[in-house]
Homo-oligomer: A and B are copies of this chain.
Amino acid sequence: MTDFEVTRAQFHLPEGVIYLDGNSLGPLPRAATARVAACLSQEWGERLITGWNKAGWMAQPRALGDRIGRLIGASPGHTVVGDTLSIKVYQALAAALALRPERRVILSDRGNFPSDLYMAEGLIGALDRGHVLKTVAPEEVAEHIDDGVAALMLTEVDYRTGRIHDMKSLTAQAHAAGALAIWDLAHSAGAIPVDVSAARADFAVGCTYKYLNGGPGAPAFIYVAPDHADIAPPALSGWLGHEAPFAFDRDYRPGRGIDRMRVGTPPVLQMAALETALDIWDAVDMADVRARSIELTELFISLIDAHCPSVTLNSPRDSAMRGSQVALRHPEGYAVMQALIARGVIGDFRAPDNLRFGFTPLYTTDQDVRGAVTALADVLDNALWDAPRYKKRAAVT
């Protein structure tokens, strides 16, 4: 049983702040500062170039990948860390299109994170072979899966609303139509239980700075299903994905399996910080996280219902359909969020009118939830986004 008091104590949380934006950038693991300082002074400073082998830098992308792999249902050896999520989306999509050369459609939904759609547009433009990016309403994805689709590219948990796609069912439908399925786990990894193996996902990608708490600019990860790992052609064929990077051969030969998804020199300092975040995750059971996450979001929604009548819930009311975040709509959403942040309650705003709050069991408490709703009710009741007058309100209970 995961002890969330223990995990909470492992993070630095600023005084006087209720942090409900761990779905955007997780907080600092207490161990990170010393670990990164050691990486600089003892590894880089003392070992210099020999750190690549002697301090294990070169092996880190695979080692960290496997630790993330446990959280997403990947078997060891099929996940690697590096680059940014946008780059990993491009890698997965380019490989999927190459594996389905006769098809021309990338199917996604209009709620997908824009950068995923942008990367698809960029790839399509570069290829210039008549591919199209088709985006439909999230609830209509299934009916648009047909034998023209090369790749179904979806984000499992919608970045604004938290709505969960059924990864297993949609992947099965994609496969039945001969398409491949690429899943973006940016709002899933560390948020909800994921099992890419059971779902038979072909590719999965994600970032590590949100729920995984790897720090600002932490590297992304990519998973490639065992069936494709040795045949997927890497469009971004960098030297560290070569079968023998230090042979300095003239021609590229893709490395075995997931190694070919490596590109260039990995970010050693970022990996050191991420390592301390994963040290915390290693002791965590995702089923416990999910149960606690649902308690937190249910509590939040029930208090919002009771105290904040002027907002509209923009997340599924059924917790089974909802990730670890809750979105509320308000026409003055941006200003409302600014007023909340000024009161020490940090969520974020996503256009056009979403107030977004992340609930992260590793360090979020019931008291945080009550404090956030108290502040939000104050801001709304007093129209504090355009009138700084403030009438003290009793805490919600």
Chain A residues at the B interface, C-beta cutoff of 8 Å: 12, 14, 17, 19, 21, 24-25, 27-28, 32-33, 36-37, 40-41, 43-46, 48-52, 57, 83-87, 90, 94, 98, 110, 113-115, 117-119, 121-123, 125-129, 135, 207, 209, 215-220, 233-239, 242, 246-252, 263-271, 273, 341, 346, 348, 350-351
A264 touches B40 (CB 8 A): no
Known: A94-B126, A215-B268. 6 other contacts (CB 8 A): A12-B45, A14-B48, A28-B44, A83-B83, A122-B234, A267-B269
Known contacts A37-B36, A86-B236; is-contact A242 B118 (Cβ 8 Å): yes
Copies of this protein in the assembly total 2
Docked pose: A121 CA to B249 CA in angstroms: 13
Q: List 25 A-B contacts (CB under 8 A).
A: A14-B46, A14-B48, A27-B44, A27-B48, A33-B37, A36-B36, A40-B273, A57-B216, A87-B263, A87-B264, A90-B236, A114-B250, A117-B250, A118-B239, A121-B252, A122-B252, A126-B126, A126-B235, A209-B265, A217-B266, A267-B267, A267-B269, A269-B269, A269-B270, A270-B270
Docked pose: A114 CA to B237 CA in angstroms: 11
Looking at the assembled complex, report how far the CB atom of A97 sits from the nearest CB atom of chain B, in whole angstroms.
8
Known contacts A264-B84, A270-B269; is-contact A40 B215 (Cβ 8 Å): yes
Residues in B with CB closer than 8 Å to A48 are: 14, 17, 19, 21, 25, 27, 346
Docked pose: A242 CA to B19 CA in angstroms: 28
B237 touches A119 (CB 8 A): yes
Residues in B with CB closer than 8 Å to A94 are: 126
Residues in B with CB closer than 8 Å to A251 are: 117-118, 121
- Name A216's contact: one of B98, B209, B268 (CB within 8 Å): B268
A45 touches B28 (CB 8 A): yes
A119 touches B236 (CB 8 A): yes
Residues in B with CB closer than 8 Å to A247 are: 351
Docked pose: A247 CA to B350 CA in angstroms: 8
Looking at the assembled complex, report how far the CB atom of A215 sits from the nearest CB atom of chain B, in whole angstroms.
6
Docked pose: A257 CA to B145 CA in angstroms: 38
Select the residue from A122, A218, A249 with max chain B CB neighbours within 10 A: A122
Docked pose: A258 CA to B252 CA in angstroms: 30
Docked pose: A216 CA to B113 CA in angstroms: 31
B125 touches A207 (CB 8 A): no
Residues in B with CB closer than 8 Å to A266 are: 217
A263 touches B129 (CB 8 A): no
